Amino acid sequence: MALIARNLSTGTVIADNVAVAATRATRRTGLLKHSSLADGEGLWIVPCRGVHTFQMKFAIDVVALDDDGVVIDRVTNMQPWRIRLPRRGTAGVLELAAGSLDRTGTTLGHRIELSAQQS
């Protein structure tokens, strides 16, 4: 089931095709099998506090959210072979196509809502 990530602080849709990695196996694999992420695609990793891009083939934007969906950390254009250390208070991490955060004006303190797509 894909989710939609909305920035409630700006009213913009950040991504409209967000997969969920909620099991040990899906969290471990993450985006490693992908060759890219298109605009509008993402991965919600939960629970998760920090991420790495070891063995990835492309850059991503990364957003750490607390239990209320508030952005407590953000990294734009995180290149392969990098690590983002865990941030205290992080409930989950949203990985997005590079450029998504700047394109949607998403910054620290904004509130993100992840909801099921309407059919």
Residue ranges in the chain whose pLDDT is less than 50: none
10 Å Cβ neighbour count for 26? 13
What is the pLDDT at residue 119?
60
Domain segments of the chain as ranges: 3-116
In whole angstroms, give the CA distance from residue 65 to residue 52.
Answer: 16
45 closest CA partner among 60, 7, 100, 36: 60
**pLDDT tens, position by position, 63-94:** 999 999 999 999 999 999 999 999 999 999 99
Distance CA 27, CA 59 (A): 18
pLDDT of residue 1: 72
At which residue do the structure tokens 């602080």 appear? 9
Superfamily of domain 3-116: Protein of unknown function DUF192 (2.60.120.1140)
